[in-house]
Amino acid sequence: MAAHHHHEHAGASLAHAAETALVDAGEQWTDMRADIFAVLATFEKPASAYDIADLVSQKRGKRVAPNSVYRILDLFVATNLARRVESANAYLANSHPGCLHDCIFLICDNCGTATHIDDDTLTSNVRAAAERAGFAEVRPVIEVRGKCAACG
Amino acid sequence: MAAHHHHEHAGASLAHAAETALVDAGEQWTDMRADIFAVLATFEKPASAYDIADLVSQKRGKRVAPNSVYRILDLFVATNLARRVESANAYLANSHPGCLHDCIFLICDNCGTATHIDDDTLTSNVRAAAERAGFAEVRPVIEVRGKCAACG
DNA sequence: TTATGTCATGTGATGTTGTAACGTCTGGCG
DNA sequence: CGCCAGACGTTACAACATCACATGACATAA
């Protein structure tokens, strides 16, 4: 297994790392984006755009529409600040923005919490298999549904 | 790579294999189920429940509600006659029902067509990684988005 | 200072995907 | 026949996602 060093950020440190990554990508770190990232980062479970819209609305005392949230989530996904969990139609903050990986998500069918694994050997094997089949610009989606240790 | 023999069924042969598999699972092979399977099997791309509902409605000359289609698709997925493609919110017929696998789907972002790979070594590594993390009853979801050879 | 461009966000409508709740039909069986 | 169970129908609704266009905020050029 490839040895690989991350900072697993949390809290203010994570927000700061996100800001840095976004600015490095040539995008602005606005209040709205900061609020959405902050809300997203509080979730243990993948959060839907509507969940986020509700919480950000509360926080701001003003309705924030889901489509505004989607716009920003799309930006976050494109710049690797967040990930979309396809099997949950929902999003997770990336705990190490700026660090490019194919993540493997484990999502508990019972409690909904998600953890993630980085296993570059495994993911590069998946990439290689897809490329052997003639695919290019591949973007692996590797998720595992199941029952987590706590719900066992 | 594990050598492994399938019949890759098609057409009537596939429908027959599906019928056999469903009956073996203790379920009935009804007209509605046959129609839905037939329609699903004509698709190259993952088909949404609504796509299927439309086509089955035409075929029968009578509206079939998405609701009914979902029920049957869920049954098909449970009995391995079909697979859900999470990243497309859609379904594919399993071309070798009765044969249990963790499939890897390759879906072209451009033309939407899906192909599938069986690589038991790879999928069992994914399972193993999830189990090391304390997960049980795991169900891997391994899909790769990208650009297929034809669209290259 | 006004005009103009650009980017972020707001707003309302609409489209797509997925479920819940409950009713009806049919076939098997006492 | 009367009853039950499983398959399917029907209505309504919930959850997820996008489109089209308007507005606001800020920067720079005229």
| B16-46: pLDDT as tens digits | 999 999 999 999 999 999 999 999 999 999 9
Strands (E), A47-135: 82-85, 90-93, 104-108, 114-117
- Whether A87 contacts B85, CB under 8 Å: no
Query: Chain B, 73-92: which have a CB under 8 Å from a chain A CB?
Result: 86-87, 89
Report the length, in residues, of chain B. Answer: 152
* Nucleotide whose C1' lies closest to the alpha carbon of residue A33: C8
Q: How far is the CA of A98 from the C1' of C17 (A)?
A: 33
Across the interface, whether the CB atoms of A147 and B129 are under 8 A apart is answered no
Q: What pLDDT, on the 0 to 100 scale, is given for residue A3?
A: 44
Please check the confidence at residue B83 and state whether its pLDDT lies above 70.
yes
Q: What pLDDT, on the 0 to 100 scale, is given for residue B3?
A: 42
Q: Write the pLDDT tens digit of every residue in A19-63.
A: 999 999 999 999 999 999 999 999 999 999 999 999 999 999 999
Which nucleotides of strand D lie under 7 Å from a protein CB? 6-12, 15-20
Q: Tell me the chain B residues in contact with residue A138 when contact means C-beta distances shorter than 8 Å.
A: 144-146
Across the interface, whether the CB atoms of A136 and B147 are under 8 A apart is answered yes
| Closest by Cα among B114, B16, B142, B43 to A123 | B142
- Residue B10 pLDDT class (50, 70, 90 cuts): low
Question: Comparing A129 with B4, which gets the higher pLDDT?
Answer: A129
Q: Write the pLDDT tens digit of every residue in A88-138.
A: 999 999 988 878 889 999 999 999 999 999 999 999 999 999 999 999 999
3-state secondary structure of B149: coil
Q: What pLDDT, on the 0 to 100 scale, is given for residue A14?
A: 87
Q: What pLDDT, on the 0 to 100 scale, is given for residue B98?
A: 76
Question: Comparing B81 with B6, which gets the higher pLDDT?
Answer: B81
From A124's Cα to the closest Cα of chain B, the distance in A is 10
Q: What pLDDT, on the 0 to 100 scale, is given for residue A21?
A: 94
Please check the confidence at residue B4 and state whether its pLDDT lies above 60.
no
| Closest by Cα among B112, B117, B142 to B51 | B112
Q: What pLDDT, on the 0 to 100 scale, is given for residue B14?
A: 84
Cα–Cα distances (Å) from B47 to A108, A145, B18, B73, B145, in that order, read 26, 22, 18, 11, 16
Across the interface, whether the CB atoms of B135 and A148 are under 8 A apart is answered yes
- Residue A152 pLDDT class (50, 70, 90 cuts): confident
Across the interface, of A87, A130, A133, the residue whose CB is closest to B86 is: A87
Chain B contact for A135 (CB, 8 A cutoff): yes
- Whether A64 contacts A57, CB under 8 Å: yes
Cα–Cα distances (Å) from B88 to A88, B30, B46, B84, B85, in that order, read 12, 28, 7, 8, 6
Mean pLDDT of B80-107: 92
- Look at strands B90-93 and A90-93 and give their pairing: unpaired
Q: What pLDDT, on the 0 to 100 scale, is given for residue A95?
A: 87
What's the distance, CA A77 to chain centroid?
A: 7
Q: What dihedral do alpha carbons A7, A10, A12, A17 form, nearest 10°? A: 40
Please check the confidence at residue B1 and state whether its pLDDT lies above 70.
no
d(C-alpha A130, C-alpha B115), whole Å: 10
- Residue A13 pLDDT class (50, 70, 90 cuts): confident
Across the interface, of B86, B136, B148, the residue whose CB is closest to A152 is: B136
Mean pLDDT of A73-86: 97
